[in-house]
Amino acid sequence: MARDDDSPVICSSTPPPCRRLEGKKAIVTAATKGIGLAIACRLAQEGASVFICSRKQKNVDDAVRDMRSRGFDADGCACNVGSLDQLKAFVQKAADTFGGRIDILVSNAGVNPYVGLAVDAEERVFQKIFRINVLSYLQIVQLSKPYMPQGSSVVFVASTSAYQPQPPLGLYAVSKTAVVSLGKLLAVELGGDGIRVNCIAPGVVRTKMAEMLWKNEDNANMMKSQLMLGRLADPVDMSGVVAFMVSDDAKHMTGESIVVSGGTFSHL
């Protein structure tokens, strides 16, 4: 998580002003870089034990080592969320590590293997996007629910593109629309069990996945000009919002989506 002056900020060097998550057990998918890693770090900074995953074990090992060097309680294992068997193994390992309890679930995995018009997309592209970006979100909730006590919280990472899908990233955007809707549905279904489900909808964040949008200086300046705050987000900008959503400060909030975009107009 080292950075130079122009690299995206993942983990704040300043401790948060509160530790709302002492004793909580959290799992975060796709959490060895970018938004997922930033979320895992913030949850740990506020006192949670975190269990993370990514497709490559080396990436998990590196991220866990770095978090532990900061004094965080962190562990994890490799998991391709597109594989139900690997998802099952990930959740089981996390539950075993945590003594059979999962208080916080953050589903962050996402792919976008296609840039172009939806009408030209092959079926395999559609299936991959929705397998990772939507179905895995439902499946990890299904697998985690037996370990989630009353008062637990789920957060789905969606996108502002969910509210106004546009080419050439339209299929990705539609998958995020489905994530927002799935979050609302699960909030209804799990509310009686005392489990809250909410979504965060980031705008353009300086991550590797979004490099095609912000690495070009002219393109980045154009996007900044459209933001009320005049700057693009770093991953750390998403993490505090998620920490709020899973804390008791948001204990009467469920079925909601919070847009974190620096001031863009997002609506259905």
pLDDT of res. 78: 98
pLDDT of res. 1: 45
How high is the mean pLDDT of the chain? 92
Q: Count Cβ atoms below 10 Å from residue 173 Cβ, excluding itself.
A: 21
Please list the active-site residues: 172
* CA gap 41, 70 in Å, rounded: 9
* CA gap 239, 126 in Å, rounded: 29
Residue type, 232: L
pLDDT(268) > 90: no
Element (H, E) at 49: strand 49-54
pLDDT band at 221 (very low <50, low <70, confident <90, very high): confident
pLDDT(2) > 90: no
pLDDT of res. 20: 97
* CA gap 147, 94 in Å, rounded: 10
pLDDT of res. 12: 86
Residues facing residue 260 across a β-bridge? 202
pLDDT of res. 215: 60
User: pLDDT over 90 for what percent of the chain?
Assistant: 78
pTM of the full structure: 0.93
User: pLDDT over 70 for what percent of the chain?
Assistant: 92
Contact between 233 and 262 (Cβ < 8 Å)? yes
76-90, 102-116, 188-202, 254-268, range with the lowest pLDDT:
254-268
pLDDT of res. 192: 98
* CA gap 116, 103 in Å, rounded: 39
Pairing of strands 74-78, 196-202: unpaired
pLDDT(55) > 90: yes
Domains and CATH numbers, the chain: 25-205+235-260 (3.40.50.720)
Residue carrying structure tokens 């300086």 = 206
Which pLDDT tens digit goes with each residue over 197-211? Answer: 999 999 888 776 665
